[in-house]
Amino acid sequence: MTDGANAMLAGRRRGEPAAPPGTPRRLRGDALLAAVAAVFTLAQLAFVHPWMGLGWDEIVYTSQVTTHHPAAFFSAPRARGVSLLVAPVASWSSSTELLRVYLALLSGAGLYLALRAWKGLFPARVLATAGAFFATLWVTLFYGPQAMPNYWVAIGALICVGCFLRSWQGHSGRTALWGVVAGAALMAWMRPTDAVWVALPLLVLVLVRRRRLLLLALVGGLAAGGVEWVIEAYGWYGGLGERLSRASEIQGGLGWNIAVDDQMRSLGGRGLCRPCTGSMPHPVVTAWWIVLPFVAVLGVVVAARVRRTARTLIPFVCAVTAAAPYLFMIGYAAPRFLQPAYALLAIPVADGLWHLVRTRQGRWRPVAAPMVALALAGHLAVQFAVLEGTVDRNVASREDWARVADELHRLGVRPPCLITGHESIPIGYYTGCSSGSTTGNNENTTAAEIVDTARRLPVAAVTGPGGGAPGYARDWTPHRITDLTVRVAPRG
């Protein structure tokens, strides 16, 4: 291998002196990545209020491991990774604040480890910029301290792809292979189907080039993370095919469906855009999303010019496959679905930005550098403005669930009890009750079973604005709570 190629693999430009291992420069690189992760953790605690109540999906995941709330219905697409992630806290404490702090610290540590997986492939300044870009997206800050899977799929993707490239280019030996295993397992542990989409280009590459150890590490990691999901498929759903079919049905039926406009609508802070109607956010909010792929392509072009295409092209392609099902195969959107794609695109984007602001000789470009700095400042302002509005709306909605729970307690609906109907999962959790649904994606009971339960326990049926009472609850006593109608079953 030539000296120039060795220099590029080490993450430095031709002509730069090689820094021996253990030098202060290397330590400064680690400190820079640690600083990005620390600021990310502090920003979560500062802007995403630790006292914000649990959301709908968080309740499903967290309730699986708590002893102080009944477990909510766990639908086919979900995996147990998040439940196990929160178990060290949620299994013994009902404190939302403690859980948020724990997850913020854990997500900061995860970001640091994910960025370190790329050391030796890019200069520390590029990795720090990539980490800062991903960490300052409102969707990353908002979901970092939440019990949700998508951020952790993104972290697993960064670890897996970074260690894959290190191993591909002969760095770190078995350490890199174990990194591939860990990253793939983390992705599959959180969302098995997402893990397959992210890893698809890597699987094709190792099969074509016959890299057996890398293939074993990648497939082994995916299998280790997804084995519980597969076993559960045969235990509860009648097989893997049946579970995948049910998961597709719950997600509206996977198939050709352009959801690019839906994702754009969700960028204004909508946690779930289903159905995704209404106007687009202000162009200032969506500008970064439109510019993102162009800057990433610039990063790939820059890499090709200096003959290190693989290190930039592979995360770019993995980001494309990670985003594809959520852009072209479902009929709704949520900003968090694209977090793995954003994390992987952050690498070529950061590389492209550094090319824009500095020459190959290391001098600042007098026009481009200030313009990029101004654009990034505006980007940060928009991200934090969207974040603030998103947090406020979610705090308010979760306080509404808590108020409904307080009223239900006043009406005599106390644990052990059952809540059915409109938003039964979050209202049931805040009330301390089990939740039941006779129709829809969370169907887990029947009308006859609800009536039978009402003979033994307090039961309330909730209907939303404009909704009608279910047949089994038409004779129950109605009560108005905010804009909801709650019918409480008579006892005895």
Q: Pseudo-torsion of CA 249, 203, 159, 319, nearest 10°? A: -60
pLDDT for position 251: 83
CA-to-CA distance for 299 and 312, rounded, in angstroms? 7
Cross-strand pairs, 4: none
Least confident of 172-176, 199-203, 255-259, 422-426: 172-176
Strands 477-481 vs 484-488: parallel, antiparallel or unpaired: antiparallel
Cis peptide bond upstream of 465, omega within 30: no
pLDDT at 395 over 60: yes
- Contact yes or no for 85/152 (Cβ under 8 A): yes
Element (H, E) at 120: none
Q: How confident is the model at residue 159 (pLDDT cuts 50, 70, 90)?
A: very high
CA-to-CA distance for 131 and 136, rounded, in angstroms? 8
Question: Quick one: average pLDDT of 464-481?
Answer: 93
Question: Quick one: average pLDDT of 305-319?
Answer: 89
pLDDT at 347 over 60: yes
Radius of gyration of the chain (CA): 24
Domain ranges in the chain? 3-357, 396-488
User: Which residues, 6 or more positions from 427, have their beta carbon under 8 angstroms from its beta carbon?
Assistant: 401, 404, 405, 408, 419, 435, 462
Q: Is 374 exposed, middle or buried (0-12, 13-18, 19+ CB in 10 A)?
A: exposed
Q: How confident is the model at residue 25 (pLDDT cuts 50, 70, 90)?
A: low
Of 306, 312, 291, residue with least CA distance to 371: 291
pLDDT for position 24: 66
Q: What DSSP string describes 60-107?
A: HHHHTT-SSSPPPP--TT--SHHHHHHHHHHTT---HHHHHHHHHHHH
Q: pLDDT per residue over 433-443, tens digit each?
A: 999 999 988 99
User: Any idea what DSSP says for residue 442?
Assistant: T
Q: How confident is the model at residue 492 (pLDDT cuts 50, 70, 90)?
A: low
- Judged by DSSP in three states, 178 sits in helix
Q: How confident is the model at residue 254 (pLDDT cuts 50, 70, 90)?
A: confident
Q: pLDDT per residue over 99-128, tens digit each?
A: 999 999 999 999 999 999 999 999 999 999
**Which CA distances in Å does 460 have to 41, 407, 434?**
40, 12, 11
pLDDT for position 26: 67
- Contact yes or no for 343/158 (Cβ under 8 A): yes
Instruction: Report the amino acid identity of residue 438.
Output: T
Least confident of 48-62, 168-182, 227-241: 168-182
The mean pLDDT value of the chain amounts to 92
The residue with tokens 């939303």 is 464
Ramachandran quadrant class, 292 (left: phi over 0; alpha: psi -120 to 50; beta: rest): alpha
User: Which residues, 6 or more positions from 338, have their beta carbon under 8 angstroms from its beta carbon?
Assistant: 139, 263, 322, 323, 326
CA-to-CA distance for 361 and 19, rounded, in angstroms? 18
Least confident of 23-32, 79-88, 90-99, 323-332: 23-32
- Contact yes or no for 429/69 (Cβ under 8 A): yes
pLDDT at 414 over 80: yes
Copy the structure tokens of residue 31.
């400190």
CA-to-CA distance for 312 and 394, rounded, in angstroms? 37
Alpha helices in 237-271 (DSSP H): 240-250, 260-266
Question: Quick one: average pLDDT of 33-38?
Answer: 98
pLDDT for position 19: 42
Instruction: Report the amino acid identity of residue 89.
Output: V
Copy the structure tokens of residue 1.
């291998």
Q: Is 359 exposed, middle or buried (0-12, 13-18, 19+ CB in 10 A)?
A: exposed
Ramachandran quadrant class, 362 (left: phi over 0; alpha: psi -120 to 50; beta: rest): left
Of 473, 454, 455, residue with least CA distance to 463: 473
Cis peptide bond upstream of 416, omega within 30: yes
Of 149, 187, 130, residue with least CA distance to 349: 130
Element (H, E) at 409: helix 368-410
Copy the structure tokens of residue 390.
């998103």
pLDDT at 76 over 90: yes
Q: pLDDT per residue over 77-104, tens digit each?
A: 999 999 999 999 999 999 999 999 999 9
pLDDT at 288 over 50: yes
Q: Pseudo-torsion of CA 462, 463, 469, 474, nearest 10°? A: 30
CA-to-CA distance for 255 and 40, rounded, in angstroms? 36
Element (H, E) at 488: strand 484-488
**Which CA distances in Å does 470 have to 22, 446, 450?**
69, 12, 11
